[in-house]
Amino acid sequence: MNIDQKLFQILSDCVFDLERDVPYASALAMQREGERIVWRNKRQIVEEINPVKGVVLTAFTGKHFIETATNDLTSAALKKVTRDLRDMAGYEGIRYDGPEVDPGPKMKTTHRVECKDPPERIPLNDKLETLGATQSKLRAMDSRIADAVIQYGHTRDREVFVNRNKLLYQHLRRTQAVAQVIIREGARSAALHTGHSFQGGWEHARIDDQELESLVSDGLLQLVADRLIPGTYDAIFSPEFAGIFAHEAFGHGTEADMFLKKRSMGQAYMGKEVASPLVNMSDDPSLPGQAGSYLFDHEGEISSCTRIIVGGILTQALTDMNSAMRLNLPRTANGRRESFERKAYARMSNTFFEAGRHTLDQMLSDIEFGYMLDRPSNGMEDPKGWGIQLEGYLAREIRHGKLTGRVFSPVIVTGTVPELLKSISMVGNEVTISGLGMCGKGHKEWVKVTDGGPYLRLRARLG
Amino acid sequence: MGESYGRWTLFETSGATGVNMGFPGLDEILMFLSRMKPLTAWEATIVNSSAFQEFRILGDVECIRELSSDRLYLRLYVERELDGKRILGESSLVLNPLDDFRFRIRRSIDMAALVKNEPFKLPGPGQDYAEVETHDPAMAANPFHNIAGVRNRLEAKSRQELVVLSSSEVWIEEKRRTFRNSLGIEAGYSETELFVDFVCLAKSDLGHESESHGSRKFRRLQDVNPESMVARNARFARDTLFAEEPPTGEFDVVFSHESLDSLFNYFAAQSGGPAAYHGWSRFKIDEPVVSEVVGDRITLTSDPSLHGGLKTVPFDDNGLSMKPVKVIEDGFLRRRPVEQRYAQYLNLEPSGALTNVVVKPGATPFDSLFHPKPVLHCVRFSTFDPNPVSGAFSGEIRLGYWVTDSGVKPVKGGSVSGVMENAFRRATFSSETVQREAYFGPKGVKLCNLAVAGS
C-alpha cells in the first residue's frame, strides 16, 4: 500500500473524528523508499534505502500538542490510533479558550518532482555498470589510492497532509552521488569526498571526470599538508564553505523554537544589525531542483522564501507551528520531522548567502597573506552564546594576491557569529548550492538540507 | 507492547517453532523465502518497538507522543560461481506491515544477484549467547509514570540550583528483537532505553545568559540520576557566563566528561575489520598503535556485557554471539574485534564488531593530571570527531578550564587540534574511572603539547 491521495479520505475522517473533541487536528502520512548502490574496491552494496512508512496524528488540546503514530496503515489500526489520541486528549484535558491554531486557507493540491531519467526505468545492471566504471576510473587515477568509493542513492518521499482545510500531497524525488578516496603513502593517510544531491533522477547520478580529478589531487595534497599556525587571517570561504557558514550562523540561530526556549540570542537581535551591510541570507524550501526543497512542510505550510538577513539586518525567523503560534511570528514552511516517529521542530531547508558583486580575482587581489578555505567537513553553532565552529579539510595559502599551491589540513574556524559576519568585506557574484548536507538538532532529528553561497571574503580565526 | 521475554537475554531454540516473532504474515514470508531461487541464505530480524515521549518548554508541556511500530529486516544472500570463482550476492530490505512482500523480496533478490562480493558463511546454530543486561522491566512497566518521575526531578533540582530549565525531552523506548536465519538460529532479546535531554539557563547579575545542554541515554532506570545531571550542567552554565577564550599556543590538555565520548574513536575504527579489509588501517597485529610512546600505553577492550552499557548486546545482526575482545594491550594491537564477515575475509576469530569501549585506567590520580601547570581542562567540545583514517582532530571548546598556578578560569571558544598518533605519545590516564553511555575508563586523559587556538 503506497501513500498517495487515496489516503485523503481516511485521514480526513481521522481529523474529523478528532476535532469532535479538540480544537485542532491534523494527519501526516509519510513514505520514503529508494535504492542505494555503493561500489568500493573490495565490496559492493546494492539495497533498498531503509524505508519509512507511517502516519502521525496530531491534536492540539488548547494547551499543548499530543500525537500518536503507527506504521500500520490498515483502516483498523488508524481508527485505533485515532481513538488512542482522543483518549489521550480526554486525559490531558481540553481547553477552548487557549491559543488558536490557524488551519490555513482551504486548498487541495498535489506536487510531483519530475525526473528526466526515472531510475526505476533503468535496468539495475546498467546502473551497476556505469557506477562500476566510474569506480574503476577513480581508483586508477593514482596508485596511492587505497580505496575508492562511489555511492549513488535515490529516494522517493510521498507525503500526505490533511487538516480541516488542507488536502496536500507531494512526491519528492532526490538523487545523490558521492565519490570518496582513501589515500595512503607511508605513514600518512587521508580521506576526502565530493558529490552532489538534487531533486530528480538518474540524470544526477554521475560525477564528472574533472570533479574526480580534483578530488584525487586535493586528497594527495592532504598527504603533504602541514597544520597552519593558529591565528587570525584574511580568508576567503569557497561557496561550499560559505554554505556551512550560512547554515551554522543564522540558520540554527533563527529557528524559532529556540526563541521559545530562550536558547537563541537572535531573538533579541531581530531588526538589528548582525552582519556586514553586504550580507543577505535566505532559507528557501521552494528553490527549484534543490535537494532540500518541498511543496509543504510537515505541518502543512506551503513553502516560500524566508529572507533571514537583509543588508546585514536580522529580519525573519524560521518557524514551526508551535513557535509561530506562541510567539505571534509569521509562519514559515520550516516545521519538519525526521520521520512520522519524531516530533516536528523548526528546521532549515535550503539556506544560503545571496550573491553580491565581487569576482574571486577581486577578492584575492589585495590579500598579502591569508587562506582560502575549501572542502568543509562539519560545523556547529551555539545560538545562545553565538560561538561557531566550522571545520574543513583544506586551507589553501594565499600570498601577494595569489594561491601558492601550498595547503594546510585540517582547518578549523572558531569565533562568534556576528564577529565573523560583520568581517565580511566582499561577497561573490555567483551562488552555488551544495546538496550533500544532513542536519541534526541536538545531535539527533536528521533532515535533508542544503546550503550554499558565493565566495566570501572575511577575517577569521583559524586553527 | 506485548509480553516481556523476561529480564535480560532470551532464548536460542534452533529449529524449534512457537517463537512469536510478532510480524503479520511472518510464516508466509518465511515460507516464500524458503522457496525462492536462487536465494542461498537469509537472515530475518523483527523489531517490535513502542515509545513514549514528553517534550516541555519552560515547565509547560509542548507535546506528548506515543508510538508503535513493527518492522521486518531481511538480508538475502545469493552465492554462486563466476569464472570459476565463488562470489556472494547480497541485499537487504525492510518490510512494514501490509507491504507487498513478494514483489519486494523478488526485487531484492534481483539486486543481490548482481553483487559480486567475497563469500562468507553465516553463523550457525549452537551460538553461546551470554546473559547480558539489555532490558529493565522497571523502566518498561509504566513509561509515562517513569518519564514524569525523571522530569519532576529535573525540574526540582533546577529550582534548587537557581537555573532555568529551558526545555526537557524524556523518552522511553522498548524494543523486542527476534532473529532467525536460514541455518536455523532463532533467538531474541528485549531492550529498553531512556533518553534525557535538557537545557539549563544561567543568568549573571548583569543580565548575561548562558546555557548548558545535557543529553544522555540509559539502559536501566537505576542509572538515571537527574539531580547529578542538572547539578553538573547548572555549574557548566554558570561557568560559561564568565568564560573567556583560552590563550593560543601548545599546551597540555586534560579531556574529561563528554570530551571522552569520542576520544578513542580513532583507535576503535583503525582496529576494526572494515579498516583492515579495505586497506586503510595503519595498525598491524602485535605492533604498537602509537610509536615512540613515553607516557601511558593504551589497553582497550570491547565489552559486549558491560552493565548498563548502551552497546551491550547478546548477539549482532548476523546472530553471532558477542564476545569480549582485548583489542589493544599495553599499546599493542592484539586482536581485531570483527563480525563474521570480516573474520572470514581476514582469517580471524569472529567476536562481533566493537561494542562498549573499556579503557584500562592509569596510575595517576585525576587531580595530579593538572601538574605541571598550566593545563587546559576540556569538558565539552562543540563536536570532537577525530578523522578515522588520518587521526587528525579539531574541536571548538564549548567549555573548559584554564588551570594555572594563580587559579582556575573557565574558558570557551577557540579550538584544540592535533593528530592522534602524536597526541597519544605522551598520554596520562587517571586512576579514577567513569562510565558513560558506551565507555568505561579513565575519568580524565591528559594529552601533551596540543595546539590551542584562542585569543
Best interface-test mutation with A: which of B45, B47, B61, B62 has the largest number of A CBs within 10 A? B62
Nearest 5 degrees, angle CA A69-CA A73-CA A74? 125
Q: Is the pLDDT of residue B19 over 70?
A: no
Under an 8 A CB cutoff, do A385 and B240 touch? yes
Q: Is the pLDDT of residue B6 over 90?
A: no
* pLDDT digits 0-9 by tens, B342-367: 999 999 999 999 999 999 999 999 99
Do residues B185 and B282 both lie within one domain?
Answer: no
More confident residue, B50 or A379: B50
Do residues B182 and B76 both lie within one domain?
Answer: yes
Establish, for the pair of chains A and B, how many residue pairs have beta carbons separated by less than 8 Å.
Answer: 228
- Closest-CA residue of A relative to B209 is A384
Under an 8 A CB cutoff, do B382 and A125 touch? no
Under an 8 A CB cutoff, do B278 and A124 touch? no
Three-state SS across chain B? CCCCCCCCEEEECCCCCCCCCCCCCHHHHHHHHHHCCCCCEEEEEEEEEEEEEEEEECCEEEEEEEEEEEEEEEEEEEEEEECCEEEEEEEEEEECCCCCHHHHHHHHHHHHCCCCECCCCCCCCCCCCCCCCCCCHHHHHCHHHHHHHHHHHHHHHHHHHCCEEEEEEEEEEEEEEEEEECCCCEEEEEEEEEEEEEEEEEECCCCCEEEEEEEEEECCHHHCCHHHHHHHHHHHHHHHHCCECCCCEEEEEEEEHHHHCCCCHHHHHHHCHHHHHCCCCCCCCCCECCCCCCCCCCCEEEECCCCCCCCCCCECCCCCECCCEEEEECCEECCCCCCHHHHHHHCCCCCCCCCEEEECCCCECHHHHHCCCCEEEEEEECCCCCCCCCCEEEEEEEEEEEEECCEEEEECCCEEEEEHHHHHHHEEEECCEEECCCEEEECEEEEEEEEEECC
Do residues B283 and B371 both lie within one domain?
Answer: yes
Across chain B, mean pLDDT equals 92
Under an 8 A CB cutoff, do A40 and B278 touch? yes
Three-state SS across chain A? CCCCCCHHHHHHHHHHHHCCCCCEEEEEEEEEEEEEEEECCCCEEEEECCCEEEEEEEEECCCCEEEEEECCCCHHHHHHHHHHHHHHHHHHCCCCCCCCCCCCCCEEEEEECCCCCCHHHCCHHHHHHHHHHHHHHHHCCCCCEEEEEEEEEEEEEEEEEECCCEEEEEEEEEEEEEEEEEEEECCEEEEEEEEEEEECCHHHCCCCHHHHHHHHHHHHHHHHCECCCCEEEEEEECHHHHHHHHHHHHHHHHEHHHHHCCCCHHHHHCCCECCCCCCCEEECCCCCCECCCCCECCCCCECCCEEEEECCEECCCECCHHHHHHHCCCCCCCEECCCCCCCCEECCCEEEECCCCECHHHHHHCCCEEEEEEEEEEEEEECCCCEEEEEEEEEEEEECCEEEEEEECCEEEEEEHHHHHHCCCEEECCCEEECCCEECCCCCCCEECEEEECCEEEEEEEC
Residue B302: the pLDDT is: 98
Under an 8 A CB cutoff, do B451 and A463 touch? yes
- Closest-CA residue of A relative to B57 is A261
Residue B21: the pLDDT is: 53
Residue B285 maps to a domain = yes
Under an 8 A CB cutoff, do B65 and A343 touch? yes
Residue B14: the pLDDT is: 35
Measure CB to CB from residue A191 to each of B104, B248, B389 and give the nearest one.
B389
Under an 8 A CB cutoff, do B166 and A41 touch? no
* pLDDT digits 0-9 by tens, A129-174: 999 999 999 999 999 999 999 999 999 999 999 999 999 999 999 9
CATH code of A7-33+51-105, in short, is 3.30.160
- Closest-CA residue of B relative to A81 is B67
Residue B12: the pLDDT is: 39
Under an 8 A CB cutoff, do A391 and B93 touch? no
* pLDDT digits 0-9 by tens, B281-329: 999 999 999 999 999 999 999 999 999 999 999 999 999 999 999 999 9
Residue B37: the pLDDT is: 86
Query: How many angstroms separate the CA of residue A358 from the nearest CA in chain B?
Result: 30
CA-to-CA distance for B272 and B424, rounded, in angstroms? 19
Residue B427: the pLDDT is: 98
Under an 8 A CB cutoff, do A414 and B413 touch? yes
User: Measuring CA to CA, how many Å separate A204 from each of A116, A195, A198, A403?
Assistant: 9, 10, 7, 31
Name chain A contacts of B111, Cβ cutoff 8 Å: 35, 46-48, 124
Among residues B171, B144, B170, which one has the least CA distance to residue B155? B170
Residues 6 or more apart from A208 whose CB is under 8 A from it? none
Best interface-test mutation with B: which of A57, A126, A143, A189 has the largest number of B CBs within 10 A? A189
Residue B1: the pLDDT is: 31
Residue A315: the pLDDT is: 97
Under an 8 A CB cutoff, do A341 and B67 touch? yes
Measure CB to CB from residue B62 to each of A65, A187, A414 and give the nearest one.
A65
Residue B15: the pLDDT is: 34
Residue A289: the pLDDT is: 96
Q: Is the pLDDT of residue A297 over 80?
A: yes
Across chain A, mean pLDDT equals 95
Residue type at A129?
A: E
Measure CB to CB from residue A461 to each of B61, B64, B453 and give the nearest one.
B453
Residue B260 maps to a domain = yes
Do residues B22 and B127 both lie within one domain?
Answer: yes
Residue B7: the pLDDT is: 37
- Closest-CA residue of B relative to A61 is B63
More confident residue, A324 or A380: A324
Do A7-33+51-105 and A111-224 come out as alike in CATH topology? no
Name chain B contacts of A415, Cβ cutoff 8 Å: 413
Do residues B322 and B429 both lie within one domain?
Answer: yes
Measure CB to CB from residue B97 to each of A56, A71, A147 and give the nearest one.
A71
* pLDDT digits 0-9 by tens, B96-148: 988 999 999 999 999 999 999 999 999 999 998 998 999 999 999 999 999 99
CA-to-CA distance for B2 and B358, rounded, in angstroms? 34
Measure CB to CB from residue A389 to each of B58, B278, B382 and give the nearest one.
B382
Neighbours of B271 (CB within 10 A): 26
CATH 3.30.2290.10 fits A111-224, yes or no: yes
Cβ-in-10-Å burial (0-12, 13-18, 19+) of B18 comes to exposed
* pLDDT digits 0-9 by tens, B405-452: 999 999 998 889 999 999 999 999 999 999 999 999 999 999 999 999
Residue A90: the pLDDT is: 94
Q: How large is the average pLDDT for residues A84-100?
A: 93
Residues 6 or more apart from A323 whose CB is under 8 A from it? A256, A257, A259, A260, A317, A329, A346
CATH number at residue B128: 3.30.2290.10
Measure CB to CB from residue B57 to each of A189, A260, A443 and give the nearest one.
A260
Measure CB to CB from residue A73 to each of B98, B385, B451 and give the nearest one.
B98
Cβ-in-10-Å burial (0-12, 13-18, 19+) of A105 comes to exposed
Q: Is the pLDDT of residue A22 over 90?
A: yes
CA B323 to chain centre: 17
* pLDDT digits 0-9 by tens, B24-77: 899 999 999 999 989 999 999 999 999 999 999 999 999 999 999 999 999 999
Residue B109: domain span: 9-136+177-192
Under an 8 A CB cutoff, do A387 and B392 touch? no
Query: How many angstroms separate the CA of residue A426 from the nearest CA in chain B?
Result: 25
Do residues B328 and B427 both lie within one domain?
Answer: yes
Q: Is the pLDDT of residue B89 over 60?
A: yes
Q: How large is the average pLDDT for residues A25-31?
A: 97
B4-13, B260-269, B312-321, B377-386: least confidently modelled range: B4-13
Q: Is the pLDDT of residue B2 over 70?
A: no
Which residue is associated with the grid cell 574526480?
A: A212
Residue B89 maps to a domain = yes
**In chain B, % of residues over pLDDT 90:** 88
- Closest-CA residue of A relative to B67 is A69
ipTM confidence score:
0.92
Do residues B327 and B433 both lie within one domain?
Answer: yes
- Closest-CA residue of A relative to B245 is A415
Q: How large is the average pLDDT for residues A101-107?
A: 96
Q: How large is the average pLDDT for residues A203-208?
A: 96
**In chain A, % of residues over pLDDT 70:** 100
Total count of domains within chain B: 2
Residue B406 maps to a domain = yes
Residue B159 maps to a domain = no
CA-to-CA distance for A424 and A309, rounded, in angstroms? 14
Under an 8 A CB cutoff, do A70 and B213 touch? no
Do residues B420 and B340 both lie within one domain?
Answer: yes
pLDDT-based confidence at B5, cuts 50/70/90? very low
Per-domain boundaries in chain A: 7-33+51-105, 111-224, 231-462
Name chain B contacts of A69, Cβ cutoff 8 Å: 65-69
